[in-house]
Amino acid sequence: MPPRYSPSRRALHWLSALMILWATFSGFGVLALPPDAPLRLWVEQFNPQATSVFIPLFAWRCLLRWRATDGHDGQRLAHNVHLALYGLTAVVLVTGVLMMAHPVSMFGVFTLPELVYDGAWLARLHQWHHVACMLLALLVTLHLLAVAWHHLNGRRILARML
């Protein structure tokens, strides 16, 4: 079995997993609620704050991955799927920040201003964000299925991340 990942990479992996799963399920889940539902309003206020805090941690994770030589390059499909996961996560985060139509208070500490003011561009960014979120959800699902498939076939690759 290949060596385990560093403690930093493991922690950032699980933090990323939690953040991506939370944002995906809560973000798509609240769309079933009326626009003025208290839970929807809370999620729509909380998610931009939480994902904005996550951005530098995700950048750190990308840096650690880029600097690592952990043998994945020989497994082209896995390597390319992981690159796509990183890339789509970055697209989701960037479009999420750019599509903010109003300033966002960061847990009452400071305010992030909106960066795009043009309504047409905001609509495009919103659309790109939703498409990227759906693609990311698909890739995460494939990733989880691959982990389960490997585990069922006796290759405990998850042990590297525990």
Domains of the chain as residue ranges with CATH: 7-161 (1.20.950.20)
Report the sign of the C-alpha dihedral through residues 159, 10, 46, 30, in that order. negative
Exposure b/e, 24-44, CB count within 10 A at least 16 = b: bebbeebeeeeeeeeebeebe
Joined tokens for residue 53: 């805090």
CB atoms within 10 A of CB 54: 20
Closest to 126 in 3D by CA, of 79, 92, 90: 92
Q: Is the pLDDT of residue 31 over 70?
A: yes
Name every residue whose Cβ is closer than 8 Å to that of residue 77 and which is 6 or more positions away in sequence: none
Cβ proximity of 51 and 99 under 8 Å: no
- Residue 63's alpha-carbon distances to 12, 54, 56, 160, in angstroms, are 11, 14, 10, 19
> For residue range 39-89, what is the model confidence (pLDDT) as tens digits?
999 999 999 999 999 999 999 999 998 887 655 545 778 788 889 999 999
Q: Is the pLDDT of residue 3 over 80?
A: no
Q: Is the pLDDT of residue 138 over 70?
A: yes
d(CA 65, CA 83): 10
- The predicted model gives 7-28 an average pLDDT of 94
